[in-house]
Amino acid sequence: MNSLYRDELLKLGLLLSLGYLIGSQWDYAWAGLAIALCFYILMMLRYYRHFNDWLDNRGLSKKPLVNTFWSTIIDQIQRLLNELRNEQQLLREDVEYFKESFQALDNGVVVIDHAGKIDWCNKSTLDLLGIQLERDKGELLVNLIRAPEFNRYLEQQQFDQPLILVSPRSPQLHLEIQATIFRHNHTLVFARDISDVYILEKMRRDFVANVSHELRTPLTVITGYLETLKDNIEGLPDIWPRAIEQMLVQSHRMDTMVEDLIALSRLESVPKSQSHTDRVTIEGLLTGLVSDAKLPFPKKSISLDIATDTFQHQTPPLKWPLQMIGNYDELHSALSNLIQNAIKYTSDSGKIQISCKCVRNNMLIEVQDDGEGIDAIHIPRLTERFYRVDSSRTSSTGGTGLGLAIVKHVLARHNAELTIHSVVGKGSRFICTFPLEVLESEQPTDN
């Protein structure tokens, strides 16, 4: 390219020299120089016009008749255009390949642009969401799927967890919606039919609930007769008192397990909107739980610390005493489970500390003990139903393996999370993290 510029400058220099020499013959050297320069500029403008016409035609017309300088530039641009066309063709083929791949899926796939309008969708979307590309392209997706939770899902763009949605095509069709953002704020939405999984899960919940309710009556009868026998053991062989006592312990344990299963079924089946109607005072709830826990265990040290100073200077200001709209029975059950667990696995000389404080726009309710502790390998599975760290220890303390599962469900229904820290031989910390948004705040008044 440098040689091309040098050649063109040489041509310009020769042209100007020729004009200067010719003009000198008539004593108009500068006029000859100016005429030569104007001639060069006019030729360059003529070549540029041909070049511009060729560009306007996107380089698809015949190469124009120009000098070597412009011809070389056109050749280079032509080469770049050919490369871009080849890349564009490859991209087009890749897009078509992915479209064909998406068309073969049973899952629905929708591509929406930055404005939320449908750009493309596959055929399965018609059966799952009632959307057809030829008819609905360019329409707002939220206008076709009129579900408030779906609208919030797209607006908030928190796509870490999928959304479970009833299909607008049929109330019997349940979908799992998963979205992701790509290329210039476009959104790719996947819809998967989980109706079979939903039905199986519902059958499981119904089965557990029905079996739990059916077990209550025979257990009540068995426990009643065992207590009657316990009160009338005179004249029976020596082996019977111990046998009756063991049967009563196991009967009470089964009754507790049934109650926990019923509680879990209720948590899974009752919508949050129908049960979260209580105004729960946090300080009163914790104080009552601590008082109840101390009555049967007077020797154990159980303390409560509410760090009121950590809740000050919040925006908007928080009402005091702290209150939240939720379900009192559910919160009482969850926190009571944590406190009872701490009591079970802490010696009489041990300490149990219950605290409530504000940390980074969250309210933390923490139950800490210096008891046996739990090996880190078990912590990820502690909230699973019936999971036991040590079955023999759990049996001796009367646990059902359902307490922490109930805690997890209750906290999830109150937009909270459970975090567990434990070291074997040093104790455990169970932290319930509530966002401050769940607490009632004072609304500023206009003066």
pLDDT digit string (tens) for 24-46?
777 777 887 788 788 878 888 88
Range of the domain at 248: 197-269
Give me the pLDDT at residue 13, please. Answer: 79
Looking at the domain assignment, is residue 428 inside a domain? Answer: yes
Same domain? 181 vs 263: no
Is the predicted pLDDT of residue 7 greater than 80, yes or no? no
Residues 31 and 112 in one domain: no
Whether 139 is in a domain gets the answer yes
Rounded to two decimals, the pTM is 0.60
pLDDT band at 1 (very low <50, low <70, confident <90, very high): low
- Same domain for 239 and 260? yes
Query: Residue 16 gets which letter from DSSP?
Result: H
Is 176 in the same domain as 129? yes
280 and 429 co-located in one domain: yes
Domain boundary among 167, 193, 219: 193
Same domain, 209 and 251: yes
DSSP conformation class of 380: G
Q: What is the pLDDT of residue 334?
A: 92
Asked if residue 318 lies in contact with residue 442, where contact means CB atoms within 8 angstroms, the answer is yes
What is the CATH classification number for the domain harbouring 400?
3.30.565.10
Residues 247, 174 share a domain: no
Total number of domains constituting the chain: 4
CA distances from residue 302 to 231, 350, 430, 447 in whole angstroms, order as listed: 35, 9, 15, 46
94 inside domain: no
**What CA–CA distance (Å, rounded) separates 165 from 162?**
10
Q: What is the mean pLDDT of residues 134-159?
A: 89
Q: Are residues 313 and 262 in the same domain?
A: no
User: Could you report the per-residue pLDDT of 431-441, keeping only the tens digit for each?
Assistant: 999 998 888 77
Instruction: Based on the fold, state whether residues 204 and 247 are members of the same structural domain.
Output: yes
Both 161 and 240 in one domain: the answer is no
CA dist 280 and 300 (Å) reads 27
- Statement to judge: residues 182 and 264 lie in one domain: no
